[in-house]
Chains A and B, each alone.
Chain A
Amino acid sequence: MDFFIPDSLTITYACAFSLVTLGLYVTISSGQFSVAHAALMGVGGYAAGIATVNWSPPFPVALLAGAAAGALLGLAIAFVLQRTSGILLATVTIALGQAIALTIQNVPSLGGSQGYTGIPIRTTVWWAIALTIVAFALILGLLRTRIGLEFLAVSHDETVSKALGISILATRLWGFGLGGLLAGLGGGLIAHQNGLIQPSELSFAQEPKFFIYLVIGGFTSPWGALLGTLAMYYVQEVILRFGESSTLTIFGVHVLDYKDRFWILGLLLIVVILTRPRGVFVRRSLHWKRKGGTHG
C-alpha cells in the first residue's frame, strides 16, 4: 500500500502547516481567540516571496522577512483590538483576515486573484523539518518562562492578572506577535515550495484547516498543535491519494476523489468536537471557560 507512506512533499507541507498551527496555539494560549492565522500565514508568504523575487537574498533572510511580516501584522492586530476579547475578537479577526485576502486580491502588482507567481522553489523537506523542530523547542522553552505564566494568567482572568501587575497589552502583543511570526514563517516555506502564493490561501475558507488541526490535536498544549497538524495532514493526504486511485462511482459521479477531502475533514472535525471537545491527543483540563464562577 504505497499511499500510506508519506513522501517528502507531504512532510514539507505538514511541517509548514504545523508552524502555522503552533502560531495559532500560541496566540490562543495568550487568551486571544484569533481566527486570522491563515491571513498571517499568507502575508508571510507574500512578504517572503516578494523579497526573494525582487532582491534574491539568501533563503533564510527571505524566510525571516516572511516571519517579520507575520509578526508585524500580528502586533498590529493585537494593538488595535486590545479592548476586544472572546467571541467578539474571533469575529473581528475572521473579518480582518477576509478583508486582507480581498484587499490583496485587488492589488494588481501582487498578481490579483491569480496570485504572486515566479517565486523560486527553495524550500526543502530538511528546511521544513529543521525549522519546525527549532520553533517547537523554542516555544516549549518560552512557555516555561515568565511569559508562559503570564499567558496562562491572562487567558484565565484579565482582571486578576491586571491586579497582579501583569500588563495585558504586553501579553497580548507577545501572543499575537509570536503567533504571527510562526504563521509568517510557515507561509514563507509554503510560498517557496509552491512557487506562488494566492489570495485564496489567506481567506476565511482556509481558516478551519488550522482549527481542525489544533482542535483535533488538543488546544491546551503545543504538543496538540504539532501532533494534530502532522496527523491530520497525513490523513488528508491519504484520502487524496486514495481518491486518485479510486474508481468508485455512484450514479456516474466519481466518489471520494481529492475534492472530497475538505468535507470529510469538516465532518471529522464536527465528530471529534462532539465526542472529545478537548482534543484527541491532549487530556489536560481546560482553561477556557466562558463565564467564571462555581457556586459555593
Chain B
Amino acid sequence: MPDGPAVAVRGLDVAYGAIRAVQGVDIDAPRGQITALIGSNGAGKSSTLNAIAGLVPVAGGSVEIGGVDATRLPAHVRVVERGVVLIPEARAAFLTMTVRENLGLGMRVGREREARAQKSAFTLADAFHLFPVLEERADKRAQYLSGGELKMLAIARSLLMHPQVLLIDEPSMGLAPLLVRQIFAVLRGILREHDVSVLLVEQDTAVALELASSAYVIEQGRITTHAPASKLRGDARLKAAYLGADAEEPSP
C-alpha cells in the first residue's frame, strides 16, 4: 500500500434534499494517528463521517482510502475490502441479538479481512480482556446493556473487524469522562499494534483535543481550522465553540 494519509477527503459535498450539510470539505487523516473533527451540533461532522463510511450518498468530491479512490464503493465493500469501520453515535449495536452474536458479526468481517491481510488479529479473547463486562454478559441480549456497555460492545465489535481506519462518532457520548480516558488509553496501544488510523468526531472539544494529535474544526458544513491538537488547546474561539456560543455567529 502506498504511503500518504489513511483517509483523504477532497471537496466533499453532502446534501439532504435542498439542505447542504457538508460543502467542499478537505480532510487528511494521517496513518496511525488519531485525527479529530470538531464542531457544534449540526455542523456537518457526522455527515462527513457517514460519507466516508459510504452510508450517505456523496453529492460531490471524492473519498480516498489508503490512497485509492473509494467514492463510489458501497458501504459494505468499504468495510470488507478497505477496512473502513464506523462506530455510530447511536443505535450502535443490534439490540435483539446477544452480545456474543453482535461480536460474531464483527468476527465474520475480521475473518474475511485476515484472509487478505495476514496480520495478527484482535481476537475475541482480546475483546473480553479489554472489556471484561462483555464476557460476563455475553449471552444477554444487547437491549439489556447500559449505554456505556453498548459503547464498549460497539468498540469491541469494530476492533474484531480488523479495521484499517476507525471512524468514531462521538466517543464521549454516554460515557463518563474517566471511562473515555481509560478506554482510549487501552485503545491507543491496540491501534498502534494493529496500525489502525482513527478519525473521530466530537462535540466535546476538550475531550477531542486530549485524544487526538491533530484536529479539524468544521462550522456550517465547511472546514475553518486545521492544526495540531496541542496548538488548538489554547484557542479562544474554539472555547467559544465548545460552549456552543458561536453556532449562530458568522464565521470570520
Contacts and interface: CB of A to CB of B under 8 A. Distances in A.
Contact of A285 (B18, B42, B45, B50): B18
B143 interface: no
A146 interface: no
B50 A295 contact: yes
A198 to B, nearest CB: 43
Contacts of B142: none
A285 B17 contact: yes
Given A285-B17, A294-B21, A295-B46, 15 more contacts: A285-B18, A294-B16, A294-B19, A294-B47, A295-B21, A295-B47, A295-B50, A295-B56, A296-B41, A296-B42, A296-B43, A296-B44, A296-B45, A296-B46, A296-B47
Contacts of B44: 296
A185 B148 CA distance: 59
Contacts of B41: 296
B44 to A, nearest CB: 7
A280 to B, nearest CB: 19
Contacts, number: 19
A285 B17 CA distance: 8
Q: DSSP majority for the A interface?
A: loop
A286 B46 CA distance: 23
Name the residue among A285, A286, A295, A296 with the largest chain B CB count within 10 angstroms.
A295
Contacts of A295: 21, 46-47, 50, 56
A50 to B, nearest CB: 48
Contacts of B45: 296
A270 B17 CA distance: 23
Interface string A267-291: 0000000000000000001100000
Interface string B2-27: 00000000000000111101000000
B89 to A, nearest CB: 8
Contacts of A296: 41-47
Nearest to A295: B46
Interface of B: 16-19, 21, 41-47, 50, 56
Contact-residue size bin, chain A (C-beta under 8 Å from the other chain): under 10
19 contacts: A285-B17, A285-B18, A286-B17, A294-B16, A294-B19, A294-B21, A294-B47, A295-B21, A295-B46, A295-B47, A295-B50, A295-B56, A296-B41, A296-B42, A296-B43, A296-B44, A296-B45, A296-B46, A296-B47
Nearest to B201: A296
Contacts of A285: 17-18
A111 to B, nearest CB: 50
A286 B18 CA distance: 10
Nearest to A294: B16
A221 B161 CA distance: 48
A294 B56 CA distance: 10
A248 to B, nearest CB: 44
A296 B49 CA distance: 10
A296 B18 CA distance: 15
A285 B42 CA distance: 21
A286 B42 CA distance: 21
4 smallest CB-CB distances across A and B, nearest first, come from: A295-B46, A294-B16, A296-B46, A296-B42
A285 B15 CA distance: 14
A286 B17 CA distance: 9
A285 B21 CA distance: 17
A289 to B, nearest CB: 9
Name the residue among A285, A286, A294, A296 with the largest chain B CB count within 10 angstroms.
A296
Contacts of B56: 295
B63 to A, nearest CB: 16
Nearest to B17: A285
A285 B44 CA distance: 22
Contacts of A294: 16, 19, 21, 47
A296 B17 CA distance: 15
B194 to A, nearest CB: 28
